[in-house]
Structure 1
Amino acid sequence: MSADPKVLLTDLLRAALKSVAPAQADATIVLERPKQASHGDFATNLALQLAKPLRRNPRELAALLLAELPASPLVAKAEVAGAGFINFTLAAQAKTAVVREVLTRGADYGRGAHKGVKVQVEFVSANPTGPLHVGHGRGAAYGASLSDLLELAGYEVVREYYVNDAGRQMDILALSTWLRYLAFFGIQVEFPPNAYQGDYVIDMARELSDAHQDRFAKVTLEQVLAGTPGLPPAERKDDAAVQQREAHLDALIANAKRLLGEDYAWVHGFALNEQLSDCREDLAEFGVRFDKWFSEQSLFDTGLVERAIGQLEQAGHIYVQDGAKWFRSTEFGDEKDRVVQRENGLFTYFASDIAYHLNKYERGFDRIIDIWGADHHGYIPRVRGAIAALGLPPEKLEVALVQFAVLYRNGQKTSMSTRAGEFVTLRQLRREVGNDACRFFYVLRKSDQHLDFDLDLAKSQSNENPVYYVQYAHARVCSVLAQWGGEVAELCEADLGRLQNARELALCARLASYPELVQNAAADYAPHQIAFYLKDLAAEFHGWYNAERMLVDDEALKLARLALAAAVRQVLASGLKVLGVSAPASM
C-alpha cells in the first residue's frame, strides 16, 4: 500500500463512485490540501463536479459518496462541508507512514516514474566575448535547477549550450584583442568605444604577445586605419555618430582580415577558445554542467543554414526585396517581416537560429525548452513562426524567460555592460558570497520576475538568510544523529505511532507533499517552488527541534523522533541537490 495519502483517498473515493454512479467511475478525482487546518488534511470537490451530469444536489451526492466510502483505519474522519465538499482528516498512522517510505527509498524519494519523454533544455548560451556576468548567473542557476528538477520528475534531459562562435560579435572580440596586442608593439590605434573594453581583452593580448612575439604586428598604423571613416567626437550621441562608429569598427575588422590573411582565423580562434574555456570553467565551478556544447559555426559548415532557408523559400515563405531575402513572419503573428539573408549574401543571426531549431527538431526531442533573457520576449513569435513555416509543430518549443538579477552593492546598482567593460562577473559574485548562496538566491523568485540580489543578506549567518536557514536544519539533524551514534537504517523499524504531537504530524504532512511538489514544479518550470518548500520544511523542523528533545530516555519515542529527523534530512538534501546547493553535515 502506498504511503501517499492522496493515493489511498483516491482509491476509496473511486470505490464509492463505482457504487453511487457507475457511469462516472472514471471521473477525475482531485484532492487538495485545505488552506485552513480545521477543514482536515484533504478536500475534494468531486460531488460538486458531478452534480450537474448526475442531476443531483451536490451536498446530497457528497453524503451518498460518504455512505459508500469503504472503511479504512487510515481515515479518522470524513464529512460533508460547504456547498458539497468532502473533507478528510487522516489518522496519525496514515500521516506518519511517509517517514518509513522516505527512509526506505532514500535519495529516490520524490523521484517520478520514467516518463519516456526526451527534453532538451538550452540555457546560458552567452556570447563567448567576455566573462559571464551576474545576469548570466541567474540564467545558469535557473537552467541547471530546472534540468535537475525535470530529471527528478522522470524526464530524460539533455542540457545544451549554444555557442555563438560565428558572426560579427566574435569579429569584434578578435579585433579588440588584436588592437590591444598591437599596442604592445608601439602601434597605438585609437581604441573604438564600441569594441570590447574589459581588462580580460588586454590579458588575452598579453598572452598573444608573450607566445608569438610580433608575428601579428607586422603592419603600420596607416594600414590598420586605411579606408576607415574615423571616429566622431566622443560627446556626440546622435544616430549619425553611432552609425559612423559602427562603420569604423566594420572597416577595422575588414582591414584586420586583409592584413592578417590566414592568421586572422588563428587570432579569431584564440580569442574564442580563451573566452569559451573561461566560461566552461566558471560554470563548472558554479556546479552547472552541460551535455552538449553546440557550435553555431557548425550550422554553416554543414550547410544547415542554407538548407533551412531553402526549405522556407520552396514553401513560399521567403521573398526578395532590395537584394535581401525576407521571411514572411507577419503571416505567423510577428509584428514585421524579418531579413534572413542580407544583400551582400551574409545570413543573419535569425537565419542561424532557424537552422539551429530545425536541428533540434531533427534530433528527435519530444520537448524543447529555450531559456532566454526577458529582453528576448519579442523574439519568440518569429522563431515559432519559422518553425511552423518549416512544417514542424511549434507547440513543441517552450520558451522560459529569465529577468536579469540586479546586484546591489552599497545601495548602488552595478553596470553589467560587457561592451563597456564595467561589469561584475559571476566569478566575482561567487567568490564574495559563495556558490551556495548564489545558486539559492538566484531561484528564490519566479524566473520571469525581477530579482534584487542582496549581498549583505546572502553573506549573513542568520535565520533571515534562507540558504543558511535551510542548510542549518540539515546540519542540525546530522548533529543529533551523530550524538545518537546508531545506524540510520535501523530507524526504518521505529514505532512511528509514537509521533503524535501537532508539530510532528505537520512535519509528516510536509514530507508527504514532496513528490507531488516535484511533479507540479517540473510541470510549471518552477524550481523556485522547491526553494519555498525547503524554507517551509526547515522552519517546521526548527520549530519542532526547539520545542521537543530528540534524545529522550524513552527509547521508542527517541527512535521515532530520530526517524522523523532523518527523513527531514533526506528530503532537505534532495531539494538542495535540485537547486545545486550543498547539504553540510556541520555549520
Structure 2
Amino acid sequence: MSPEALSALISQIAHQLVESGQTGQLTEEGIPPVSKLAVMRPKDRAHGDWSSNIAMQLAKKAGMNPRDLALLFAGELESAQGIASVEVAGPGFINITLDKASAAAVVDQVLAQGRRYGRNDHLSGQTLNLEFVSANPTGPIHIGGVRWAAVGDSMARLLEANGAKVVREYYFNDHGEQINRFAKSLVAAAHGEQTPADGYKGAYINEIAERVVAQAKAEGLDLLGLPRVDAGMDKEGEPLGEGDSPQREEFRKRAVPMMFAEIQQSMKDFRVDFDVWFHENSLYEDGEVEKAIAELRSKGDIYEKDGATWFASTKHGDDKDRVIIKSDGNYAYFAADIAYYYNKRHRAVDPAQVAIYMLGADHHGYIGRMMAMCAAFGDEPGVNMQILIGQLVNVMKDGKAVRMSKRAGNVVTIDDLVEAIGVDASRYSLARTDYNTSVDIDLDLLASHSNENPVYYVQYAHARSCNVARNAADAQIGSEGADLALLDTEADGVVLAALAQWPSVLAQAGDLRAPHKIAHYLEDLASAYHKWYNMERVVPMALTDPEERQSPAEREAIRTAKSPEPARAAARLKLNQAVETVIAAGLDLLGVEAPHKM
C-alpha cells in the first residue's frame, strides 16, 4: 500500500467518523484535502512502516483529546485490507504496519508502470513558461548561468512529470548598452588596442574579433577599413545607435549571432533543449513595447512627469514608481520587461498561464517592480508570475576557490566545469542543492570514484542493479511468478518503503519547484539499496562487482552471506529491478545518465 493510498484511506475514515457523529464538533468542511493528510516514515522502523498525525491535525476542530481521536482512527484502520497492525503512540501519532504482501506490492506497481511510476497529472491543463539561463550574448555562460541550466532543465522535466505543459525559454538581451560595450570591445581587440574601461575582457573577445574580420574578408569587405567615427546613418540609411559607427555596427551584427550560436551549442552539449529562443530586440522591432505600454496606459497606470513616461508601480505594491521612457526619448530597461511579460501571457501559441522567471542573486531588487507590473495587467503575483532567485556558486579545487578561466578571464564558464568533471557530475552537483542557498562545487570530490561523491554513489547503485540482473541471468535465476511476500527482512522493508515514497516525493518536488528533493531522494534510495545489496543475496555466493569496486567489509559480507533459496532469490530479483527502474527515472529528471556499468 502506497503512502498516497494510505492518505486516501485515512481521509475516507475521517469522513465516515464525522458522518457517524463520533468526532465531536468536527465537520466535513474541517477535514483537509487528501494532499494535506500526508503519511510519513517513522524515524524508528520499530514503530511501523508509516505514521500519521491526523488526530493531532483535527483534535482542536473536534474539541477532543488527540489520543482519543487517534484511537478511533486506529480502530478503523486495523480492519483495512493490507494493514497488519496499528498502534497509537505518544500524544496521538498513529503508527501503521503493513502486511508483507501489501508492503511489497509496490514492486509490481513499479515494474508494471516502468519509468512512469510516480508520475501524475495534478498539473495537467497548465501551461508554464519557464525562462532560465538567459545570459547576455556577450560572452560564454559563466558558472551562475550553468547552475540555472542544470536547475531549470531539471525543473522543467519535473513539472512535466507532474502533468504540466512546459515551455522552456531563453531570453537574449540583445538590445541596449551591454551590446554596445561588446561591440566596442571587439573593435578595440581587432585593432590591437586596450579593452575599453567598460568593455568585456578575456581571450574569447580576441577569438570573436578575429572570426568577424575573417568572415567579412571572405565576403570581400575590409572591415577594419570602415569608418570608426559615428557617421549618423548605417548603409541602409537607418540611424545608428548612440556612439555607433559603420565599423562597430558591422562587428555588432556579425558577432552577436556568433555568440548566440556558441551559447546554443553549449546548452545542447549540456543536455538542455529550449523550445523558444526569444530576442529582446524583437520586442522593439515588432512594436511589442508600445503595445504593452498602451495596455497599461488604458488601465490608468502610465503618467508623464519631468519629460519622462512613468509606470505607477506604487499603486500595485512597489516601493517607488518606475521610469519606462526617459526624458531623452530612450526606453528604460524595464520597458522591455513589461513588454516581455505581456508577450508571454498573450501569445497565439502556448500563452503562459504561469510565467516562471529564474534570476540571479543580483536581481533580488527587481521582484517588487516585476510583481507590481504583473498586478497592473490584472494578474495575480506569485501565481501568474513566479520569480525564483538563485544564489552564488563557488568552484573549489585543492581546497581553494577557482576563479580564472583560460578563455573568459576572471570567471568559470560552462566549458571549464564540464571539462573538469563532465556533464553528469556538473548537472547533478548543481541541481542537488536548493537554488536558494549558495553551493560549493568541489572539483576533486566530483571527479572521484568514491561513495563521498554523490553522483557516483547514485550512478553506482544503478550500475550495481544492472550487474545483479546480468549475473542472475547467467545463473538462470528469473523473477516470473515471484512471491513478493518473501521480501520480509528489515533490509527488504527499508528498500520497499523508499520505493513507495517516490510518487509523493515527485509531487512535492514539483509543487515546491524543488528539483534538489529528487537528488536527495535518490541518495536515500541508493543508500538503502547498497546496504540491502550487502545483506540480501540474489545470486548465490558470487562477487557481483569487480574486486576493486568493493571495500574489504563488502567483500567479506558477500562471501559470508547465505545463498538464497530460489523463491526468495526470485522475489529479490524483482525488487532489484524496481530499484533500477526508479533510479533511472530519477536520474533522467536531473538530466543525468544511468550507466549500466561503471
Tell me whether the two structures share a fold, i.e. TM-score over 0.5: yes
Give the Cα separation in 1 of the matches to 2:178 and 2:14: 66
Deviations 1:197-231 (A, max 9, x none): 221121122122223236222257xx54999xxxx
Displacement after TM superposition at 1:319 (Å): 3.0
For the Cα contact (< 8 Å) 1:146–1:526, is it kept in 2?
A: yes
For the Cα contact (< 8 Å) 1:148–1:578, is it kept in 2?
A: yes
Q: Which residue of 1 aligns with 2:9?
A: 11
Q: Which residue of 1 aligns with 2:79?
A: 71
- How large is the Cα RMSD of the aligned pairs? 2.7
For the Cα contact (< 8 Å) 2:188–2:196, is it kept in 1?
A: no
Rate the CA distance shift 1:65–1:203 in 2: closer, same or farther, 3 A: closer
1:386 aligns with 2:373: yes
Give the Cα separation in 2 of the matches to 1:19 and 1:337: 55
1:582 aligns with 2:593: yes
Give the Cα separation in 1 of the matches to 2:446 and 2:358: 25
Q: Which residue of 1 aligns with 2:386?
A: 398
Aligned to 1:278, which of 256, 259, 262? 262
Give the Cα separation in 2 of the matches to 1:535 and 1:271: 44
Give the Cα separation in 2 of the matches to 1:368 and 1:488: 53
Deviations 1:115-157 (A, max 9, x none): 2111111100010100011121101101001111111122111
Displacement after TM superposition at 1:258 (Å): 3.5
Rate the CA distance shift 1:224–1:84 in 2: closer, same or farther, 3 A: same
Give the Cα separation in 1 of the matches to 2:10 and 2:517: 30
Letter in 1 for 2:362: D
Deviations 1:245-270 (A, max 9, x none): xxxxxxx9745x3344xxx5543221
Deviations 1:329-362 (A, max 9, x none): 2333333322211122111211001100011111
The DSSP-based 3-state class of the residue aligned with 1:434 is helix
For the Cα contact (< 8 Å) 1:287–1:580, is it kept in 2?
A: yes
Aligned to 1:110, which of 109, 118, 133? 118
Alignment of 1:474-493 (within 5 A): 474-485=462-473, 491=479, 493=481
TM-score by length of 1: 0.88
Q: Which residue of 1 aligns with 2:485?
A: 497
1:308 aligns with 2:292: yes
The DSSP-based 3-state class of the residue aligned with 2:576 is helix
Displacement after TM superposition at 1:387 (Å): 1.8
TM-score by length of 2: 0.86
Displacement after TM superposition at 1:534 (Å): 0.7
Rate the CA distance shift 1:489–1:334 in 2: closer, same or farther, 3 A: farther
Give the Cα separation in 1 of the matches to 2:578 and 2:60: 44
Give the Cα separation in 2 of the matches to 1:449 and 1:510: 26
Aligned to 2:328, which of 344, 354, 359? 344
Displacement after TM superposition at 1:37 (Å): 2.5
Give the Cα separation in 1 of the matches to 2:404 and 2:331: 29
Displacement after TM superposition at 1:422 (Å): 2.5
Aligned to 1:212, which of 190, 212, 216? 216
Give the Cα separation in 2 of the matches to 1:129 and 1:226: 24
Q: Gaps (5+ residues) in structure 2?
A: 22-26, 233-239, 541-563
Letter in 2 for 1:450: S
Q: Gaps (5+ residues) in structure 1?
A: 228-251
Quick one: percent identity of the two aligned structures? 41
Moved more, 446-455 or 359-368: 359-368
Letter in 1 for 2:285: D
The DSSP-based 3-state class of the residue aligned with 2:135 is coil
Rate the CA distance shift 1:314–1:31 in 2: closer, same or farther, 3 A: closer
Q: 1 or 2 for the larger relative contact order (CA 8 Å, sep ≥6)?
A: 1
Q: Which residue of 1 aligns with 2:509?
A: 521
Moved more, 353-362 or 484-493: 484-493
Aligned to 1:371, which of 358, 361, 380? 358
For the Cα contact (< 8 Å) 1:196–1:420, is it kept in 2?
A: no
Letter in 2 for 1:173: F
Give the Cα separation in 2 of the matches to 1:116 and 1:444: 28
1:59 aligns with 2:67: yes
The DSSP-based 3-state class of the residue aligned with 1:493 is coil
Give the Cα separation in 2 of the matches to 1:410 and 1:55: 61
Deviations 1:402-444 (A, max 9, x none): 1121112344334479998322211111011000100011022
Alignment of 1:415-454 (within 5 A): 415=403, 421-454=409-442
Letter in 1 for 2:8: T
Displacement after TM superposition at 1:104 (Å): 0.9
For the Cα contact (< 8 Å) 2:212–2:255, is it kept in 1?
A: no
Rate the CA distance shift 1:218–1:266 in 2: closer, same or farther, 3 A: closer
Rate the CA distance shift 1:462–1:323 in 2: closer, same or farther, 3 A: same
Letter in 2 for 1:96: A
